[in-house]
Amino acid sequence: MASIGKLTNAMLHLSQEMQLSLASLNFDFSLIKCEAPKEYRELGMRLSHSRKEVAEDGKIHSTARKLGALFEGEIPQVPTLIEAYGRRVSEVAAMPTANPQGTKSDGAFADHVGVDGTTIWASATSGEGVVTMHLLACMLARMWKGSEAISIWSELVQHRKAVLETHVAASTSFHTSDAHASRIEITRDQLADWDASAR
């Protein structure tokens, strides 16, 4: 009788472990928010409520995290540039002439008044180096029309996924993050939102 109880407890414990393992497989890493570097905090305080919410918990944040994970091995280490950019965007966000705050007189548009720093804040709260993906978005936005920039992003994403898939298939010792990144899905609509905010 005691052995049946032990067997039942062991089966229950195993079932709980399997549920935890399966839950971790379904975990969406793109929803994780990191603390922004201190140079960006003023920007975070000055964003409208809706823009900050989208940047931290919406599709733009998810896109930033996915781009960061996908290009992780290719993102250059440029800490000085990231710090200087953070200080500058925070300075601009603090200027009332450049970033007016919405008031009741703005009505339904109050939350859309001021600078759109959504991709900047999403990048800053998405992990180390992801701001460089935002800077790339800004460069593409300045050089090409929206539809062209979105197509370029789409090609970059597909090419990077293909490179990672080839690396994973050809190597006997690959990082699990490469295998996971090669399966990341970023839709054209997500890239369009990313490009529009960078503009």
Largest interatomic CA distance in the chain: 79
| CA–CA dist 139, 112 (Å, integer) | 24
**Cα 68 vs. chain centroid, distance in angstroms?**
6
Joined tokens for residue 122: 């999403």
Rounded to two decimals, what is the model's pTM? 0.77
Distance of CA 164 to the CA centre of its chain: 19
* Tens of pLDDT, residues 89-120: 999 999 998 888 887 887 888 777 888 899 99
Residue 38, pLDDT > 70, answer: yes
For the record, the structure tokens of 119 come out as 């991709």
CA pair distance 68, 62, nearest whole angstrom:
10
Q: Are 168 and 110 in contact (CB under 8 A)?
A: no
- Is the confidence at residue 23, as pLDDT, over 60? no
Report the C-alpha gap between 33 and 120 in whole angstroms.
Answer: 14
